[in-house]
Amino acid sequence: MATLTIHNVPDRLHARLAARAAAHRRSPDEEALSVLDEALTGPAAPSPDPDSIVARLDAIRLRSNYRAAPGEIEAIIRELRDR
């Protein structure tokens, strides 16, 4: 895998990238790669929001009276995130 180094990034641009990365729960490096990929190939599918996934799983569990095994919900979230 290649390495890309960008010098002299203006503070304002770096702050915007860091804020966008935090909003998407990514590192600034991951966010920069996402921005570059989207700019070069078109919009990517949005990342699933872990909080909304947990809320949906909790609602299903409450409706079905299902008790998840330890770590089961986290495994489901990881699987959805990695898609």
More confident residue, 55 or 18: 18
Q: Which H/E stretch holds residue 78?
A: helix 72-82
What single-letter amino acid sits at 57? L
Residue carrying the six token digits 């570059």: 36
Reported confidence tier of residue 29, pLDDT bands at 50, 70, 90: very high
pLDDT of residue 44: 62
- Rounded distance between C-alpha atoms, residue 55 and residue 15, angstroms: 30
pLDDT in tens, 30-54: 999 999 988 888 766 677 777 788 8
What single-letter amino acid sits at 18? A
pLDDT at 16 > cutoff 90? yes
pLDDT of residue 45: 67
Structure pTM?
0.49
